[in-house]
Chains A and B, each alone.
Chain A
């Protein structure tokens, strides 16, 4: 456990160093969130009744999405891990007396968390002071807030365990670019990064909620806005937990199989 903690610390502290980049990121995300809300606002003007969530709910959803972007972004991958596989550096990693899966998992968490820590507070602060109905609101009650926190952690773990599968796929394909783009675009879409999942057609909703992608950012955000609460929230969190187990298990199995016949590239 101690070794994972120090891997985490190294990456986390390294991530905290890029403060100028964080400011650039904050302003970008702020502009992005604002534009997205304006787009929905235009739709809201003539279709208020067909809106699946109220506009303040949507605003909270979008601002959370922007604030926690670094945590839930699907397109971010640790280039070093891919390089270690394609260049053969993996040989050193394998000599270490610790579990590769766990190590990569922890490293990934650390990079994402350090980024989100630098970025989320300013975005949330400014968003909180925006005029009605564009600003972010507090969750409806204490219970939602608590459930939101737990669900965010679960969603985060689901996302990381899913991206582990992409890393592991590099053992099989060597050039991981293609799978990466493919997986990223599918994840982005079904996780609700393009349009929030409640805006998908009703007929598709059950299918989408059954996919692992809905268990990433969508569940905690919907809990926060009060869109789902009580038993429904607990149910979604159970689904999150289920996916987490399934993905970690698959990842570990695939990794073991890959390592059994790994061919180390070059010297």
Chain B
């Protein structure tokens, strides 16, 4: 753990060398999610509700998804660049070092400018919470925390899956974008609005509904089932599965040489 913080400090220092660029990047990240927010806002300006959900309800769902994604992205950025590690052969260097490979991939890159996005997500959650009609009892607060934890687990799993697949394809797959970025993009809304089939897909294949739809129903009072609070924890099961897949890929790994 000590070593992890050392790596973190090192990367932070190196990224701080280009201060203007760092600030601009952080600002850019901030604005990116801002435009997404306005996209949703403009839609509700016109239609007021979708599938029975109001704007303030959607805002909670959106900000939790965004927050979970940006937390994950802050520390799991290394996995995003993983295909490059394979292509360049640098993975071999990692494999011979006496530390776990997951640890080293995590510390290979951290993008601190993603903080911009995180700040925006926090801000939005604050607005959403104050605008909502939810009674903030202990169980509701617990639900939000669980949604966040589950969200981080699912997104982390998707990043690991992405890295795992690149063992077989060498190239970074554009197709995976639909799972990582797509989950963020379409997770803005509770996934039930896309219809029954898509909801099933997002429950059993890419389980983002576990943290952003089912517990959300409890949060806004559409469901009284207390078990839904803990449903996001199933995200860890998905994380374990993806990790096992990653290990499987690693065992089959043949160096690209160069």
Task: Encode contact with B along A88-128: 1 for CB under 8 Å, 0 otherwise.
Answer: 00000000000000000000000000000000000000000
Query: Is chain A's interface secondary structure helix, strand, loop, or mixed overall?
Result: helix
- Whether A199 and B43, one on each chain, are in contact in the complex, defined by CB atoms closer than 8 angstroms, is yes
Residue B130 is within 8 A (CB to CB) of chain A in the complex: no
Binary per-residue interface labels of chain A (165-182) against chain B in the complex, 1 for a CB within 8 Å, 0 otherwise: 000000001011111111
The answer on a CB contact under 8 Å between B50 and A42 is yes
CA distance A182 to B21 in the complex (A): 11
Residues of chain B from 165 to 219 with CB closer than 8 A to chain A in the complex? 171, 173-175, 177-178, 182, 185-186, 189, 193-195, 198
Does B32 count as interface, using CB distance less than 8 angstroms?
yes
Residues of A within 8 A of B (CB): 20-21, 24-25, 27-28, 31-32, 35, 38-39, 42-43, 45-47, 50, 52, 173, 175-182, 184-186, 188-189, 194-195, 199-201
Q: How far is the CB of A140 from chain B (nearest CB, A)?
A: 25
Given contacts A42-B50, A177-B21, A182-B24, contact A188 B182 (CB under 8 A): no
How far apart are A86's CB and chain B's nearest CB, in angstroms?
11
Contact A188 B193 (CB under 8 A): no
- Given A42-B194, A47-B48, 9 further pairs, Cβ under 8 A: A28-B174, A35-B182, A38-B195, A39-B189, A182-B24, A189-B35, A194-B35, A195-B43, A201-B45
Q: How far is the CA of A189 from the CA of B43 in the complex (A)?
A: 14
Q: Mark B117-151, 1 if CB is under 8 A from A, else 0.
A: 00000000000000000000000000000000000
Top 7 A-B residue pairs of the complex, sorted by shortest distance between their CB atoms: A178-B24, A181-B28, A47-B47, A189-B35, A175-B21, A42-B193, A194-B39
Is B51 an interface residue, CB under 8 A from the partner?
A: yes
Q: How far is the CB of B50 from chain A (nearest CB, A)?
A: 5
Q: How far is the CB of B101 from chain A (nearest CB, A)?
A: 26
Q: A24-B173, A24-B175 are in contact. Are A35 and B43 (CB under 8 A)?
A: no
Q: How many residues from B make CB contacts under 8 Å with A? A: 40
Q: Are B36 and A194 in contact (CB under 8 A)?
A: yes
Cα A184 to Cα B35 with chains together (Å): 11
- The answer to whether B46 and A199 touch across the interface, beta carbons within 8 angstroms, is yes
Please name 23 pairs of A and B residues whose Cβ atoms are closer than 8 Å in the assembled complex, sorted by A.
A21-B171, A28-B174, A28-B178, A32-B182, A35-B194, A35-B198, A38-B195, A38-B198, A42-B189, A47-B48, A50-B47, A176-B21, A181-B28, A181-B32, A185-B31, A185-B34, A185-B35, A186-B31, A189-B39, A195-B43, A199-B46, A200-B42, A201-B46
Report B's interface with A, CB cutoff 8 A. Answer: 18, 20-25, 27-29, 31-32, 34-36, 38-39, 42-43, 45-51, 171, 173-175, 177-178, 182, 185-186, 189, 193-195, 198
- The minimal Cβ–Cβ distance linking A238 to chain B, given in whole angstroms, is 27
With A25-B174, A28-B175, A46-B49 known as contacts, the answer to whether A178 contacts B182 (CB < 8 A) is: no
Q: Chain B residues with Cβ under 8 A from A42's Cβ?
A: 50-51, 189, 193-194
CA distance A175 to B22 in the complex (A): 9
Return the contact of A45 from the options B39, B45, B51, B182 (Cβ within 8 A).
B51
With A50-B46, A199-B42: A39-B193 Cβ-Cβ less than 8 Å:
yes
Residues of A within 8 A of B175 (CB): 24-25, 27-28
Closest chain-B Cβ to A235's Cβ sits at a distance in Å of 24
